[in-house]
Structure 1
Amino acid sequence: MNRTLAVVAALLSVAVLAGCSSNEDLADQYREGSAKGYISGDFRVVEIPPADRGAPVVFEGVTETAERVSSDDYRGRILVVNFWYAACGPCIVEAPMLEEVWEEYQGQQVDFLGVNTYDQPATALSFARDNNVTYPSVIDVTDGKVKLAFAQVTPIQATPTTLVLDREGRVAARIIGQLASASILSTLVKDALEEPS
């Protein structure tokens, strides 16, 4: 854990990263005249001690390839969940870092799942192909039920947001905004893996 805090402290001292937000937030921004196309946010990493974690997140959805997935599919494993959409600039920037950590931990009881909050399956598949993303994404456009399930137990204030869930399905760590480096996420996953089961 100290290793993670040192990395996070160093990055926080030099970086303020951007996140995308809802269309309503973008409309407010447009009225203000900045026309950036995304909502700036403070990059934050929060690790949650096991005793302070809330209830397991319960969700179900359908991926871009029409496969049904649910929280039950990931129990007993570490799950990294990334909220994204194709036109989100920071989502594009962080995609290779997410894929790098996904590849690093394959075969180690770690899964990755994207939650696409805006696009149709064809767009999500195109994004995955163009950015070499090999893990699946739930398409959460119609009713937002997957995002809502997570929002009931942890703040999801910007897109992208990345969560690390422990083996019980509880949120162990949260990254608000664009991932600054693969090593930060890798350390968070490693910490979750090293927790006693």
Structure 2
Amino acid sequence: MTDPTSSQAARLGRRTLLRAVVLGAAIIPLAACVGEEDPLAKQAREGNNKNYIAGDGSVEEYAPESRTAPVEIKAVAYDGSAIDSADWAGQATILNFWYAACAPCRIEAPHMVELNKEFGDKAQFIGINVRDEKDAAEAFERNFGIKYPSVQDTEGSIQLAMTKYVPLKAVPTTLVLDKQGRVSARVLGAADKTTLKALINTALTESL
């Protein structure tokens, strides 16, 4: 004769197993939709001060219909000037994430200076320093003749905020924003001058 208690336990066990299988099936697709965490954002969150992941110079352009909302940044630059993304409308904006001891940053710095001069008030260049305190950053800027402002982001708040728009993944990373303030292109690693110039021209001349 079958023990009623044993039969009831077996039925409960089957229900529990079935519920686990159904829930598991619901959870797996959701997990698959979550992308891998941006490595630079992870470093900023961990606060390990490494702040350097090598980029390969790769370029990614974003079609107007695939761009995110306009980038929003409010900060104070090393020179005391106010940085407000609300002021960027109507021009191209170049955000360059860097720090002084980063070898690729030193390679691309002269190109940034030359392009800043070439584009004048048609494009706004802004540096985002991910590691240095004020003295080290300003020494770098003097050494390379950088006139455009840079913002200190050693705590990683801007880097983390940028994950809403496009993953950074490397230092240096350069983002080109269109005339609406949306990310139109990303360069991972040292930016080639000719390539960056073409990306800025595209942002300035495209019909949105």
Unaligned residue ranges in structure 1 (runs of 5+): 1-20, 28-37
Equivalence map 1:44-123=2 (5 Å): 44-107=58-121, 109-123=122-136
Aligned to 1:186: 197
Q: Which has the larger radius of gyration?
A: 2
Which amino acid in the other structure matches residue 123 of structure 1? Answer: A
Aligned to 1:196: 207
Deviation at 1:82, TM superposition (A): 0.1
Percent of aligned pairs sharing the same letter: 39
Deviation at 1:59, TM superposition (A): 1.1
Q: Would the aligned equivalents of 2:49 and 2:131 in 1 still touch at CA under 8 Å?
A: no
Q: Which of 179, 187, 206 is matched with 1:167 structurally?
A: 179
Matched position secondary structure for 2:117: helix
Aligned to 1:148: 160
Equivalence map 1:115-134=2 (5 Å): 115-134=128-147
Unaligned residue ranges in structure 2 (runs of 5+): 1-39
Greater helix fraction, Structure 1 or Structure 2 = 2
**Partners of 2:71 and 2:53 in 1: CA distance:** 27
Superposition RMSD in Å: 2.0
What is the number of equivalent residue pairs in this alignment? 164
TM-score, scaled to structure 2? 0.73
Matched position secondary structure for 2:185: strand
Which amino acid in the other structure matches residue 204 of structure 2? Answer: L
| Distance verdict in 2 for CA 1:84–1:40, change over 3 Å | closer
TM-score, scaled to structure 1? 0.77
